Structure 1
């Protein structure tokens, strides 16, 4: 993490150090948190940080600590996806925080034993790198971000609405994902005039699904993609929840076992490429929605000694040409039983989505983080 990117498959561990910068703002933190427009959050990240930075000589970790006039502090972190997935990033920051409090025993140290579970291979092809494997799911375009808050009451109502004989106890991630999918699919149809089939993907953490479980502090990308292809005439909420659960449950013990060992990387490539083929239907007949959930990762338990976070955010990049179109990141709310969804869509689709009455019946658009804390 103190080294530099060498090429698409390796890091030069030269101990040149992570990027670290301090900034000051001549306004109180409360003034920022009162904003309903969350686009300012990107200013709290290190300048130049991008989601897909893989340039040779690039940093692995970039940190910006911002101090506000009131003494409030924000920590903005960009951690390269070459080595960090969501759980790994949380482990790194949690361990750092525990050491800062001189309570290192309270947080597990980052575990770098991934190569024993998933052995390196000299035959590993360039087209099987993380960025290449996931490129079928990434779409470039001028996109806009929007933060949608679902509180505990709204989620409970969604659970009642979507429960069925196939899924008796839907989870909060399942029901929020299903609602967002339904509303976004309606937006796509309104824009194009055609209801296409939609490929919905969810990144699944392999750590707790393995037997025996991998260390929850394992560094690397212990992820696999669950994919559900939803036909144009199957867009009911209960049906979407059912499709999502079936897709996620396919990533089971048998699959994870097959991914391990010398031939595991080949099996992984095959799994991802099969999903990629489905996402590239001929004549652009398939829409795509990509989810990544950071829920239940304990981000609100991180304490550097100043107390636990008031708000943890997924920094948006507004009106920028980046490969995040049709992507949704799910985060825990401060109270832990709600969800904040960070949605990235093309601007024309976002303008329609924010008018969707079914979405507005359950979600609150760009609510101030301070209002969430009070409620």
Structure 2
């Protein structure tokens, strides 16, 4: 979207309501026990945003009639199927009672509808962070009463296209839980019961809740110096499949696509920070890990909860080489897989995790470190999520913390299906100015502003 169009796009909330489960939750399920991982989760939200377009809807001569008709039809379909889905995902319609229990008395999820005063294709030609974040109900989530868990926003474009934005509290969900929920909702909306998922609520039995004190929570979720103290900027970068293959070949070291792109972004962000500050600091990159995949035996994908951990890789900014960064990332996940689960399964799991955080926190709260946080949805199938209208045109995972926090990276596979990766990067305005002009980045990332989602523009 050109800068002129950026200013013109407006998202107007036209309705807000509470959607409750279509069937009451049985009494024996009213108190849902959180797992230890849910208890120590950061006070933030996991988000996902899906865009759906309809063939022929971009004809400007008749888009108004189509938009009104489809908005009414889709609205009813979405709300009815959401209500049905909440009977299976009943904790999402509950309220956090304390740091051990969710009250599942069918309070309901927050559902809002919005109108967008442009065509969907206008946004997808050149999507940017300021426009996209308006389609995720994160502001509503942050302004709502504490304890609410699920927020949904359906945004209807003048062409009849729709964007579905979902925010779920980390107190009950990680990225995998969000995907499972949306998949099941889509199956219900499409009337395809083969795609209706039944969640597994086994997290609290595997990782029982503990008495987490306020002091422990401070150690586990410290006030990192990532909050916006200066103006931040969020930008989307596209790494096309052949370019990533060339990057992996240049590394001359084993790596996944995500690791290669993460290492490159980390290197270029560090170079920008060092150039602006004039000093070399310790640089730490924290990455999320889906614990379902590393337990023995692995947990099912439909396991509900914040079943995620984080490991940190660090490098002195005076020695930032791609090969070394990839090696740090690989060794970090290997060490995490060996040690973290062992700590979680100990009787003194909380104490063990808290103790392991103390040294890291002492470093993080100093002013001599740059902390980066990377979350990835690479290799997660998302472009087959069909609400009955066909596959999504675009799926994206812009961070709910952007642009209020800096040094955030979100990775996701692109719609092209050729191994391409999209990255949302949030940096300080000064760092972004240097980052986006870094020669190493430009060798592998799209070099034009706001890369298009539409294949016809690639």
Task: Give me the TM-score of the superposition, normalised by structure 2.
Answer: 0.73
**Please, which moves more after superposition, 246-255 or 145-154?**
246-255
Equivalent position of 1:346 in the other structure: 428
**Structure 2 match to 1:125:** 213
One of 327, 339, 356 as aligned partner of 1:271: 356
| Cα deviation, residue 137, structure 1 | 4.5
Which residue number corresponds to residue 132 of structure 2?
41
The one of 276, 286, 301 aligned to 2:384: 301
| 2:113 is the alignment partner of 1:22 | yes
Cα contact 1:118–1:265 (8 A) shared by 2: no
Matches within 5 A, 1:200-239: 200-239=285-324
Partner Cα separation in structure 2 for residue 368 and residue 6 of structure 1:
44
Q: Deviations over 1:308-352 (max 9, x none)?
A: 1111122467985x2x21111111111341111111111221122
d(CA) in 1 for partners of 2:244, 2:156: 35
Query: Among 191, 199, 204, which residue is 1:110 paired with?
Result: 199
Assess if the C-alpha contact under 8 Å between 2:413 and 2:420 holds in 1. yes
CA distance in 1, matches of 2:401, 2:350: 35
Number of residue pairs the alignment of both structures matches: 362
1:368 aligned to 2:452?
Answer: yes
1:140 aligns with 2:227: yes
Paired with 1:67 and 1:33, the residues of 2 have a C-alpha distance of: 14
Q: Residues 318 and 293 (structure 1 numbering): CA distance in 2 closer, same or farther, change over 3 Å?
A: closer
**Distance of aligned partners of 1:362 and 1:69 in 2 relative to their CA distance in 1, 3 Å threshold:** same
Deviation at 1:46, TM superposition (A): 2.6
**Is the contact made by 1:7 and 1:55 (CA closer than 8 Å) also made in structure 2?**
no
Paired residue secondary structure (1:251): helix
Alignment of 1:37-76 (within 5 A): 37-46=128-137, 48-49=139-140, 53=142, 56-76=145-165
Q: Which segments of 5 or more consecutive residues in structure 1 lack a partner in the other structure?
A: none
Alpha carbons 1:138, 1:325 under 8 Å: kept? no
How has the CA–CA distance of structure 1 residues 236 and 204 changed in structure 2, closer, same or farther, with 3 Å as cutoff? same
* Counterpart pick for 1:332 among 413, 426, 435: 413
Shift of 1:33: 1.1
Q: CA deviation at 1:233?
A: 3.2
RMSD of Structure 2 on Structure 1 (CA): 2.4
Aligned to 2:439: 357
Deviation of residue 362 (structure 1)? 1.0
After superposition, residues 282-293 of structure 1 pair within 5 angstroms as: 284-293=367-376
Provide the rounded CA distance (Å) in 1 between the counterparts of 2:216 and 2:145.
18
**Aligned residue number for residue 264 of structure 2:** 179
Determine helix, strand or coil for the equivalent of 1:43.
Answer: helix
Whole-angstrom CA distance in 2 between matches of 1:242 and 1:41 = 34
Distance in 2 (CA, whole Å) between partners of 1:317 and 1:264 is 29
TM-score under structure 1 length normalisation: 0.88
User: How far apart, CA to CA, are the structure 2 residues paired with 1:276 and 1:27?
Assistant: 46
CA offset at residue 35 of structure 1? 2.7
User: CA separation in 2, counterparts of 1:214 and 1:330?
Assistant: 23
Cα distance between partner residues in 2 of 1:216 and 1:158 = 31
Q: Which has the larger radius of gyration?
A: 2
Which residue in the other structure is 1:91 paired with? 180
Are positions 1:312 and 2:391 aligned together? no
Q: Secondary structure at the match of 2:332?
A: helix
Q: Could you report, residue by residue, the CA deviation over 1:17-70 in whole angstroms, capped at 9, with x for unpaired residues?
A: 1001222334321122123434211221237235xx497544211111122222
Assess if the C-alpha contact under 8 Å between 2:383 and 2:415 holds in 1: yes
